[in-house]
C-alpha cells in the first residue's frame, strides 16, 4: 500500500477540511502512522506523560486562549517544547484561527507542517477520524467480480475462465450494477462490514473473452456502475464435476471469512447452459428475505415436519380404532 504522508492527506482533504498550509512545508513528506487524533492541551500546560506524538495534533480555541495568556518568552518555550517531538506528523489549528507568529516560526524550524482549518474543532476532529479510519482500514485485493444485485452486494469468486465476468455482464444488462471486475479491493470498514471497490486504473472496465476489454460505464451508462458496495454474500462458482456436495435444501448457511469478517457463502456448480443470472437474482432476493427474518428453507422444513406429525397422529388414532 502507498504510504500515508502528510502531503497525501493535504492533497486529499484540502477542500473538505478547508485546510491552509501555514508553515513547516519542509515536513510534508512525514508519514502519518496513527489513526488517532489528539488535542495537546495537557502537553501545552507542561504535562507530557502519555503524550502520543505520533498522532495528528488539533489545536482549538481552548489551547489558543491558553497560549495567548502566556508572555512571549513562555510562549516560545511552550511551543518549542511541543514541536520538539519530531514524530508529530502535523498540527492543525481549527476554527480558522490564525495562531501567534511564534508558532509559525517554531513549526518552520521543526519542519512540522502547521495547518489552519476553517472547521469547528468538533467537526474537524470527527471528519479527521472518519478519514483516518478509511485510510487505516485493513485491505486486500482479490481476484473476483463484485456486482450490486437488487442492492445486495455479491462477490463472485472462482477460477479464471469460469464465467464471472460474463455473469456480471448479463446482470448489468438486466439493470444491476457493476462495482469491479477482476481485481476487487476489499477493506474492513468496521468489525463486521467489508467494503468492496474497484481500482482507479481499471475503473469499470471488463474483459470478455473473445471480445477484449470493454468499458461498462461507456456502454451502459452511469446507472450500470457503482463505486463501492458492502460485501453481503460471496458466490463461489465451481465446475459441476469438481463438486459433489452442494447445498440441496438451504438449511445451513456456509460462511467464509475475509479480513476477519464473516460473510455468507453460496457455492454454485456451473455447467454449460446454466442461467447464472436468474440464479444470482434469486440468491439476492433470498438473502433479502433472510435479512427481513424469513427463512424459506426452514419454513418449508417446519411445514414438512408438521405434515409428518399430523400424519402420525392420524395413524395412531386409526390404530386404536377397533370398531
Partner 1 sequence: MVEKEVEVVNKLGLHARPAMMLVKTASQFQSEIKIIKDNMNVNAKSIMGVLVLAAEKGSKLKIVAEGPDEEEAVEALAKLFAEGFGEE
Least separation, in Å, of the C-beta of 187 and partner 1? 12
**Based on CB atoms, which residue is closest to partner 1, 208 or 243?**
208
DSSP string, 265-300: EEEEEE-TT--HHHHHHHHHHHHHHHHTT--HHHHH
- Catalytic annotation present for 182: yes
**Based on CB atoms, which residue is closest to partner 1, 19 or 146?**
146
Where do contacts with partner 1 occur on this chain (CB under 8 A)? 1, 139-143, 159-161, 181-183, 199, 201-202, 205-207, 213
**Based on CB atoms, which residue is closest to partner 1, 203 or 264?**
203
**Based on CB atoms, which residue is closest to partner 1, 185 or 286?**
185
Given the residues 61, 86, 109, 143, select the one marked as catalytic. 143
- Catalytic annotation present for 133: no
Beta bridge partners of 269: 238
82-85-86-88 Cα dihedral, nearest 10 degrees: -70
Given the residues 30, 55, 164, 229, select the one marked as catalytic. 164
Residue reference for cell 492533497:
11
Given the residues 3, 73, 248, 315, select the one marked as catalytic. 248
Least separation, in Å, of the C-beta of 165 and partner 1? 9
Least separation, in Å, of the C-beta of 240 and partner 1? 18
Q: How far apart are CA 15 and CA 305, in angstroms?
A: 62
For residue 125, give the H/E element and its range.
Answer: helix 121-136
Q: Which of 62, 16, 21, 8 is nearest to 39 (CA)?
A: 62
Least separation, in Å, of the C-beta of 111 and partner 1? 28
**Based on CB atoms, which residue is closest to partner 1, 139 or 188?**
139
- Catalytic annotation present for 248: yes
- Strands lying side by side in the sheet with 254-258: 228-230, 193-197, 177-190, 139-149, 152-157, 233-239, 261-270, 254-258
Least separation, in Å, of the C-beta of 233 and partner 1? 21
User: For residue 5, what is the DSSP state?
Assistant: B
- What does each C-alpha distance from 278 to 149, 176, 201, 281, 282 come to in angstroms? 11, 12, 31, 5, 6
- Catalytic annotation present for 69: no
Catalytic residue numbers, as ranges? 143, 164, 182, 248
Amino acid at each position: 500500500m502507498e504510504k500515508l504522508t502528510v502531503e497525501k492527506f493535504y492533497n486529499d482533504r484540502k477542500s473538505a477540511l478547508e485546510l491552509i498550509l501555514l508553515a513547516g512545508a519542509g515536513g510534508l513528506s512525514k508519514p502519518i502512522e496513527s489513526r488517532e487524533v489528539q488535542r495537546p492541551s495537557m502537553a501545552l500546560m507542561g504535562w507530557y506523560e502519555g503524550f502520543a506524538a505520533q498522532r495528528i495534533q488539533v489545536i482549538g480555541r481552548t489551547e489558543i486562549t491558553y497560549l495567548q495568556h502566556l508572555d512571549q518568552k513562555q510562549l516560545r518555550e511552550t511551543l518549542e517544547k511541543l514541536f520538539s517531538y519530531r514524530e508529530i506528523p502535523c498540527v492543525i489549528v481549527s476554527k480558522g484561527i490564525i495562531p501567534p507568529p511564534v508558532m509559525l516560526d517554531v513549526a518552520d524550524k521543526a519542519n512540522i507542517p502547521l495547518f489552519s482549518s476553517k472547521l469547528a474543532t468538533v467537526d474537524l476532529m470527527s471528519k479527521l477520524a472518519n478519514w483516518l479510519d478509511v485510510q487505516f482500514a485493513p485491505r486486500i485485493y482479490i481476484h473476483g467480480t463484485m456486482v450490486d444485485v437488487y442492492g445486495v452486494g455479491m462477490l463472485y469468486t472462482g477460477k479464471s475462465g469460469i464465467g464471472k465476468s460474463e455473469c456480471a455482464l448479463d446482470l448489468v444488462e438486466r439493470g444491476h450494477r457493476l462495482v469491479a471486475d477482476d481485481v476487487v479491493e476489499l477493506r474492513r470498514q468496521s468489525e463486521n462490514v467489508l467494503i468492496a471497490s474497484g481500482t482507479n486504473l481499471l475503473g469499470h472496465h471488463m474483459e470478455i473473452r473473445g471480445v477484449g476489454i470493454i468499458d461498462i460505464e461507456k456502454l451502459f451508462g452511469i446507472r450500470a456502475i457503482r463505486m463501492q458496495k458492502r460485501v453481503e454474500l460471496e458466490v463461489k462458482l465451481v465446475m459441476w464435476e469438481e463438486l459433489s456436495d452442494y447445498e440441496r435444501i438451504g438449511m445451513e448457511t456456509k460462511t467464509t471469512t475475509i479480513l476477519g469478517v464473516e460473510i455468507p457463502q453460496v457455492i454454485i456448480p456451473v455447467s454449460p447452459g446454466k442461467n447464472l443470472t436468474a440464479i444470482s437474482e434469486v440468491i439476492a432476493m433470498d438473502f433479502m428475505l433472510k435479512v427481513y427474518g424469513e427463512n424459506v428453507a426452514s419454513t418449508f422444513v417446519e411445514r414438512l415436519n408438521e405434515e409428518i406429525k399430523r400424519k402420525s397422529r392420524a395413524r395412531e388414532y386409526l390404530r386404536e380404532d377397533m370398531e
